[in-house]
């Protein structure tokens, strides 16, 4: 298993280009199941999670070609050879549940493994399932699998989500494109990845309105066709690299930076004393003066502060003057990075969903372990500011969502290398 070694203390100066969004691409790929014509996705990120979704789609009979060195994916689902999403693939990645809606809509039947919990929380899929039932599917849970049927096809309905769920909104949007009649999704997620999926589905012939608001309306059509769609920029990668010069010093231009995607993050950074200035290619980020200021923030659905940037922002706040308060409202167990940051000298206490971060801790390099994707990114950022060497193990978590992280940071002056075991 690879590890990453970082010797902290070097300021970062340069430019970092942002790739296509993992979480958008993971929802766009299963959309290919809705049509027998090819769907081509450009600006695709080259990540482990994308390879996992590719393997899952291939196991269902899709043909997937990687073009332009993997930056574009052409996915053809001319014939669905299997309706079974096997546990062996689904357990690797929760987004696998996103094949359920499209398979059911196109084939009238699907058997999909339940994804199970993960480090950040239990993450049930009840909202996905009750939504599909509202569209007329019959579901049965057997041996860890969801057995879903809709022999006469799905039927449009009004579905009110109990809580805002990105994945359930995506699954239902896709399922509803081929349902008979109109579906209204109420209390829908408003994340940019939802908007991106709606645009792609529309390019495929779907009739969708209201994406980006809390009510999405989908008028079912008889069939969808192929399309080419460009994946939006990864706002979580963007936010992660915005913190790098803020914590390590220096100034980094985020190429492809887009304020509309990271508004809450920019607000939080500015409150902490970080300056964000527009450039022709995006924006540049640097710390204002020497000291960062403590602040409080709570994670929330878009346009609120993203839970996927909470760990990274917490690393930054270990270096702020005073006590910061971080509330995690989306996942019940997303503070796995705290004990690892403590090993590096951070002073953080957690009570329930709230972490109190006392700055300005003197961070020192230590061996630490990545527990999940964004926790790994938080540890990398903390290591950039720590004295001495930090070695992060289990970086396969990081590889799920960050492409060439060592190369991108090293190009800005970070002393970082991947240790191959
Ligand atoms: C691949 C992908 O896009 N992943 C993102 C997606 O995950 P994902 O789509 O899994 O997250 P959701 O928005 O569904 O989860 C929000 C909350 O709802 C709960 N819930 C969700 C579904 C359900 O059926 N029942 C239920 O109780 C979850 O446990 C969680 O507490 O959105 C999350 C919240 O922005 C991000 O952190 C993930 O990076
Ligand atoms: C939690 C994440 O991904 P997933 O939903 O695939 O676990 C993430 O991208 O931060």
Instruction: State the architecture of 3-18+233-419 in CATH terms.
Output: Alpha-beta prism (3.65)
What's the pLDDT score for residue 38? 98
CA angle (293 as vertex; 10, 333 as ends), nearest 5: 85
**Mutate which of 21, 161, 165, 236 for ligand 1 pocket (most atoms within 8 A of beta carbon):** 165
Could you tell me what percent of the chain has a pLDDT over 70? 100
pLDDT, position 39: 98
| Helix 192-203 × helix 22-31 angle, to 10° | 30
Residue nearest atom 8 of ligand 1, based on CA coordinates: 167
Residue 83, ligand 2, Cβ within 6 A: no
Ligand 1 pocket, CB under 6 A? 23, 26, 94-95, 121, 123-128, 163, 165-168, 307-308, 330-331
* Residues with a known catalytic role: 118
CATH class for domain 22-230? Answer: alpha beta
User: Whose Cα sits closest to atom 28 in ligand 1?
Assistant: 123
The secondary structure of 88-129 as a DSSP string is: HHHTT-GGGGGGHHHHHHHHSEEEEE----BTTB----HHHH
| 216-to-13, 169, 184, 328, 334 alpha-carbon distances in Å | 42, 9, 6, 27, 29
- Rounded Cα distance between 203 and 377, Å, is 34
Structure tokens at 305: 């502060």
- pLDDT (tens digit, 9 = 90+) per residue, 119-176? 898 899 999 999 999 999 999 999 999 999 999 999 999 999 999 999 999 999 999 9
- Determine if the pTM surpasses 0.90: yes
SS3 162: coil
CA-CA-CA-CA torsion sign (292, 294, 298, 303): negative
Instruction: Give every CB contact of residue 228 below 8 A, 6+ residues apart in sequence.
Output: 39, 40, 41, 42, 203
Provide the pLDDT confidence category of residue 421 given band limits of 50, 70 and 90: confident
Residue 394 alpha carbon to ligand 2 centre in Å: 16
Ligand nearest to the CA of 118: 2
pLDDT at 262 over 80: yes
Task: Identify the band that residue 116 occupies on the pLDDT scale cut at 50, 70 and 90.
Answer: confident
Distance from the CA of 163 to the center of ligand 1, in angstroms? 10
Reading across the β-sheet that carries 323-327, which strands appear in turn?
296-298, 323-327, 354-358, 347-351
Distance 318 CA to ligand 2 centre (A): 24
* ipTM reported for the complex, 2 dp: 0.99
Predicted local distance difference test score (pLDDT) of residue 187? 98
Percent of the chain with pLDDT over 90: 97
| Beta strand spans in 265-359 (E) | 274-279, 282-287, 292-293, 296-298, 320-321, 323-327, 347-351, 354-358
Atom of ligand 1 nearest to the CA of 125: 24
Q: Using an 8 Å Cβ cutoff, are 291 and 275 in contact?
A: no
Distance 23 CA to ligand 2 centre (A): 7
Report how far ligand 1's centroid is from the alpha carbon of 134 (Å). Answer: 20
* Contact yes or no for 190/118 (Cβ under 8 A): no
Is the beta carbon of 377 within 6 A of some atom in ligand 2? Answer: no
CA separation, residue 328 to residues 84, 121, 352, 363, 376 (Å): 35, 12, 9, 23, 17
| Probe target for ligand 1 pocket from 98, 166, 311, with the most ligand atoms within 8 Å of CB | 166
Overall average pLDDT of the 360-365 stretch: 97
Atom of ligand 2 nearest to the CA of 26: 6
pLDDT tens column, 331-349: 999 999 999 999 999 999 9
As a whole number, mean pLDDT of residues 192-204 equals: 98
Is 312 exposed, middle or buried (CB count within 10 Å of its CB: 0-12, 13-18, 19+)?
buried
For residue 124, which atom of ligand 1 is closest to its CA? 25
**DSSP classification of residue 260:** G
Q: Which atom of ligand 1 is nearest to the CA of 193?
A: 3
Give the distance (Å) from ligand 2 centre to CA of residue 95.
8
Closest ligand to the CA of 171: 1
**C-alpha torsion 162→164→170→173, nearest 10:** 60
Mean pLDDT along residues 82-97: 96
Q: How far from the centroid of its chain's Cα atoms is residue 88's Cα?
A: 21
Ligand nearest to the CA of 191: 1
Check residue 290 and give its pLDDT.
Answer: 81
pLDDT digits (tens, 9 = 90+) for 295-313: 999 999 999 999 999 999 9
Contact between residue 270 and residue 292 where contact means Cβ atoms under 8 Å apart: no
Cα 226 from Cα 374, distance rounded (Å): 34
Tell me the average pLDDT across 229-235: 98
**Ligand 2 contacts CB of residue 401 (under 6 A):** yes
Domains 3-18+233-419 and 22-230 share a fold: yes
Mean pLDDT across 365-392: 97
In terms of residues, how long is the chain? 421
Per-domain residue ranges of the chain: 3-18+233-419, 22-230
Could you give the CA distance from residue 384 to residue 175 in angstroms, rounded to a whole number?
Answer: 44
């Amino acid at each position: 298993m690879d590890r990453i070694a970082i010797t902290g203390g070097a300021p970062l100066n340069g430019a970092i280009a942002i790739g296509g969004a993992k979480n958008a691409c993971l929802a766009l790929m299963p959309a290919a199941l809705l049509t027998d014509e090819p769907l081509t996705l450009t600006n695709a990120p080259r990540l482990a999670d994308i390879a996992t979704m590719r393997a899952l789609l291939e196991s269902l009979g899709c043909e997937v070609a990687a073009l332009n060195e993997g930056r574009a994916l052409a996915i053809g689902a001319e014939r669905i050879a299997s309706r079974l999403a096997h546990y062996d693939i689904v357990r690797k990645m929760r987004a696998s549940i996103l094949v359920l809606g499209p398979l059911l809509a196109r084939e009238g039947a699907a058997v999909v493994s339940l994804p199970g919990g993960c480090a950040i929380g239990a993450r049930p899929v009840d909202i996905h399932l009750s939504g599909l039932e509202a569209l007329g599917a019959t579901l049965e849970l057997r041996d860890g699998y969801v057995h879903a049927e809709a022999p006469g096809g799905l039927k449009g309905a009004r579905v009110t989500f109990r809580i805002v769920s990105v994945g359930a909104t995506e699954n239902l949007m896709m399922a509803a494109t081929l349902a008979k009649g109109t579906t209204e999704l109420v209390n829908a997620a408003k994340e940019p990845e939802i908007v991106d999926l709606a645009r792609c589905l529309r390019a495929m012939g779907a009739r969708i309105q209201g994406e980006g608001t809390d009510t999405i309306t989908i008028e079912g059509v008889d069939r969808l066709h192929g399309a080419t769609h460009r994946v939006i920029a990864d706002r979580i990668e963007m936010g992660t690299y915005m913190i790098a010069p803020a914590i390590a010093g220096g100034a980094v231009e985020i190429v492809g930076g887009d304020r509309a995607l990271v508004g809450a993050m920019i607000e939080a950074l500015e409150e902490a004393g970080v300056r964000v200035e527009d450039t022709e290619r995006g924006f540049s980020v640097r710390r204002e003066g020497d000291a960062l200021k403590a602040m409080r923030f709570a994670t929330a659905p878009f346009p609120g502060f993203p839970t996927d940037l909470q760990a990274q922002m917490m690393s930054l706040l270990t270096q702020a003057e005073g006590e910061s308060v971080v509330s995690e409202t989306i996942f019940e167990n997303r503070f796995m990075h705290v004990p690892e940051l403590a090993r590096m000298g951070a002073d953080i206490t957690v009570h329930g969903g709230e972490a109190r971060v006392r700055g300005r801790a003197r961070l020192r390099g230590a061996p630490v372990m990545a527990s999940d994707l964004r926790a790994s990114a938080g540890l990398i950022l903390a290591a950039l500011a720590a004295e001495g060497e930090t070695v992060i193990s289990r970086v396969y978590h990081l590889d799920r969502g960050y492409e060439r992280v060592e190369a991108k940071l090293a190009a800005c002056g970070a002393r970082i290398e991947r240790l191959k075991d």
